[in-house]
Structure 1
Amino acid sequence: MNILAITDGTKETSQAISLLDGYAQVDVQLISRMSQMPSKPPSLVVVALSKCSERILNALASLLETRFKGLRNRLVLCVSINDKAHYASRLKLFSAEVVSLPTDRDRLFHAIKKADPTFKLQSKSVVLATKATQTLSNTFSTFLANDEDAQEHCVETILESTVTVDGAVTELGFDAWMMAVAEHHSYTARHCMSVAGFASQWGATLGFSKADRPRFTEAALLHDVGKVVIPLEILDKPSRLTPGERSVIEIHPAEGLKILEKNPKVSQLAKDITFSHHELLDGSGYPNGISGDEISDPVRCSTIIDIYSALVDTRPYKQAMVPYEAYQVLASMKGKLDPHLVDAFRPIVEMHHDTLKQAA
């Protein structure tokens, strides 16, 4: 949801609106330029005025009536304490929450929640993480458009984004990254960013070195690049795949490897994980049906993350599993997944459970 902030441009009102920075998407407009206000109704309007007048209040009432009708009950007015008293009866006509200037974040947020109890102000870290995921999401969307000329640039962008993912998970927190990823609509983009988040946090939990953790995150971001060759009607199909469609999907590891081999900057680990993340210890996976010691530990880890991420995500044809339910599926895959690594993954599942609980 987004906030339209209308101010008179003074230092006092600008400081009040700046309290929202990092917590919500805010479109700031000067009251003197009401003719340029966005036509699309915002979720909530916050008006901050250092000096009220009948003219300004009439203009504001007209704006709400003609442009944003229906938002009178989702309005917060921030005015000086003197104007709050002087225009008390006039301000009541707006059916708004009125806050005295200067204000602080707690009082402003409290007024916003009273004006619209359904409005969710995200934590600053989630908003920052959302910004970090946007470029990645756009890159995956471009990539999946199957433009060969754009492929090389997209791989470069994804490689560069490894630092963004590790930095976001380290500095903003695993929960902030995962909540931000959940906001994206493209399943493939969401899945790759989710797998990368799990990989980054698990790498840190397992004590990966400063050199190994980025390589593991990079591999997670790139693991599904081969899906670029899969027709979108199969990739985005809103129902379960037929056996024939499933066989088409199963070419993506080999196609992904072909794409990555064109770029000398891509690590061997990323190539291995891209090609083998669907292999299983009992040889029942694909594309080569390798088994046991033929599958390296990093690939085994990526397989666990890939399966878990798919289980806890919502698709049109299935509900998302809760973390512990998905973990039980992993634990039940005896002979297919490394049981020691499944055990080692449990702390990440617990962190994910806490993240979803926090977001609820």
Structure 2
Amino acid sequence: MKKSLLSLSLGGLTIGITEFVMMGILPDIASNLQVSIPVAGYLISAYALGVVIGAPLLVIIARNYPPKKTLLILAAMLAFFNALSIVVPSYGFLFLTRFLSGLPHGAFFGVGAVVASRLAEKGKEAQAISIMFAGLTIANLAGVPIGTYIGHHFSWRYTFILIAIFGIITFISLYFWMPKVAPNEEVSVKDQMQFFKKIEAWLVILITAIGVGGLFCWISYIAPLLTDISGFDAADVPYIMILAGAGMVVGNFVGGKLADQFSPEKTLIVLLLLMALDLTMVFFFSSNPYVSLLLVFCTGCIAFALIAPIQMLMIQIAVGAEMIASAAIQAAFNIGNALGAFLGGLPLIAGFSYASPNLVGIGMSLIGVLITVILVERRRRILKFATA
């Protein structure tokens, strides 16, 4: 593995722990800062808001800077804002630092995806992107459980020390291992924003927010699903989530290989159909604990197999505006996070079981398939017209 790609993977690891560890240490933060758990939950929303705002904004600001310099600044922001969370005196200040910590998330992955594709061997661009996102999967496999353990048994502030340390390591690795990559030809904000006039771009954003959003119908309510439906003890859930993380690691690399071997569009259609089938299995068979464990692994695998083909598809569509396009995908993922959690919660509010959010996830995945088919047909017509 190239050291340059490893440095991007370390950034993905730092971002992954930053984003997902909050779910595990939320009760500890709520107790320490004397707020309710629902109020503490707004800290997750604060981070997501930072991602949505920061992804396009920071990429536009840094559009004419060398990619290595941009990545170094973003890594420094990750380390600094997470370090601030260590010493916050109140809930309000932590809300602010969580928002600030989310700002570099989308921009890092946006710039990193483009850099990874440029550093890759021809025909292996998607696999190179998957290496960067491997850090995100390893975060779910090991980083988040370790951070949760530290938060439970010592202090949630120590968890942010761990994240800040990984941020510093990311900065150092980028400084020494990332080669200088030539920036794109100088472009104006107006030229960059032309990307958002493309219907194809919005279709990919919708595929991400709606289709992949089906994943979050599952993962947002996985703890009560495992305890109330599958019959596991609450103490078993963190260990079962490691199994989900292992699936994410496998799926991430499989998705990269598939997107290089086949077209990203075909890969997405197959994977979204598999996601719908998988969530159907979750709905009907989660009462069997052994089958439930297998499905936890499979769902994590399929979900993260979607990442590389989506990134590659967007890069192909956004010629000349690849970085802002790739960053927009990260914003769309977080919109999907919010959509999946909200829509998946509606059947629970109506009194249905903890398996019912998966029905919403099935619908979202199938809508994602439909949008992808529309995109394929539109691109086929454009290509036919261009060659006529």
TM bucket, shorter chain: under 0.3
Decide which structure has the larger Cα Rg and report it. 1
Structure with bigger helix share is 2
Structure with bigger strand share is 1
TM-score of the pair, normalised by structure 2? 0.26
Higher relative contact order (Cα pairs below 8 Å, separated by 6+ residues):
2
TM-score of the pair, normalised by structure 1? 0.28
